[in-house]
Amino acid sequence: MQVNIDYFKNIPSEEEIYKFRNCLLNWFENKKRDYPWRKTDDPFRLLIAEIMLRRTNADQVKNVYIDFFKKYPDSYSISKADKKDIEEILYPLGLRWRVPSIISVARQIQEKYNGKVPQTRDELIKLPGVGDYVAGAVLSIAFNKKE
């Protein structure tokens, strides 16, 4: 097998990668927008935020997220909630598929995990509406796992 040496000429050095990473982190620190899900490490709130954020602008989600958790502070209260009430709160986000997904996630967390969000990718992706991206976000942000 012949290797094209020119391909490797453009790979950045470790120092260049380090500088780029720091520039990116500094930019984020100065430009990041203020969202409530960035101020919590509660795995359930992060999980619900990620479900709300799918295919939706973060600015739209911000107030809905705040109102939602004022009325339903945890998985237990959501699992016992009336579907119509949750639909009403989530209505501004559109995509009505979220409602049964959120209720089902809350119920499964209550029934299968005693109210605690699972801490493994395999368990998380079994929850409705949770795929690799959402699982990775929850694991890295809430549980400080490398994802």
For residue 112, the domain's CATH number is 1.10.340.30
pLDDT of residue 1: 62
Residue 11 banded pLDDT, cuts 50, 70, 90 = confident
Domain membership of residue 135 (yes or no) is: yes
Q: What total number of domains does the chain contain?
A: 1
Mean residue pLDDT of the chain comes to: 93
**5-34: average pLDDT:** 89
Domain membership of residue 59 (yes or no) is: yes
Range of the domain at 89: 36-142
Domain membership of residue 51 (yes or no) is: yes
pLDDT reading at 9 higher than 90: no
Please answer whether residues 92 and 64 qualify as being in contact, where contact means their C-beta atoms are separated by less than 8 angstroms.
yes
Domain membership of residue 40 (yes or no) is: yes
Residue 3 banded pLDDT, cuts 50, 70, 90 = low
pLDDT of residue 16: 92
Domain membership of residue 4 (yes or no) is: no
Domain membership of residue 17 (yes or no) is: no
Instruction: Write out pLDDT tens, residues 50-108.
Output: 999 998 999 999 999 999 999 999 999 999 999 999 999 999 998 788 899 999 999 99
Domain membership of residue 26 (yes or no) is: no
pLDDT of residue 95: 77
Rounded Cα–Cα distance for residues 134 and 130 (Å): 6
Domain membership of residue 12 (yes or no) is: no
